[in-house]
Structure 1
Amino acid sequence: MSTLSKRATVYFNPAVHNVLRTKAHVSHRSISEIINEVLIHELSEDAEDLNAFSERANEETISYEDVLAKLDLNV
């Protein structure tokens, strides 16, 4: 783990904690390493989503009814 770290207290559901402990043991990593990896992945997906929203901000809005009509479904 990095020498530059911050501490936080996180409370897990007991079953989740058991799975994390097992995964850490099997993968020879710490629970902190696993959680950091997962959080970085999730936060990067959020950043991608926000970027996509920004890129599409000026697109025309289409109503749900119009989308259904274009699909030739009964509204």
Structure 2
Amino acid sequence: MATMTKRTTIYFDPKLHKVLKAKSVESEKSISELVDLALRHELLEDLEDIKAYEERKDGDFISYKDMLEKFNNG
């Protein structure tokens, strides 16, 4: 079964585009594949951050003032 894809236009800084084209040639992957992989990586990193927040959100809270005092007193 073929993978469904969507088409869009993205505008890159010229220097970034040049580097992206070079990576595309070096890696034998299309620019679309490289952008897709980079976005997936970025979004999965966000998911990890959200999960970490959820695990700690009910934990002990230390105010900024208390944290500074703790830092100052070693």
TM-score normalised by structure 2 residue count: 0.87
For residues 1-75 of structure 1, what are the structure 2 equivalents within 5 Å?
3-71=3-71, 73=72
CA distance in 1, matches of 2:26, 2:47: 31
Structure 1 runs, 4 residues or longer, greater than 4 Å off: none
Q: How many residues were matched structurally?
A: 72
**Deviation by residue 1:17-71 (Cα, 9 ceiling, x = unmatched):** 1110111011111001111111111110000000111111111221122112223
Percent sequence identity is 47
CA distance in 1, matches of 2:3, 2:51: 31
Letter in 2 for 1:68: L
Letter in 2 for 1:46: D
Higher relative contact order (CA 8 A, sep 6+): 1
Between Structure 1 and Structure 2, which shows a larger proportion of helix residues?
A: 2
Instruction: Provide structure 1 residue ranges, at least 5 long, that are not aligned to the other structure.
Output: none
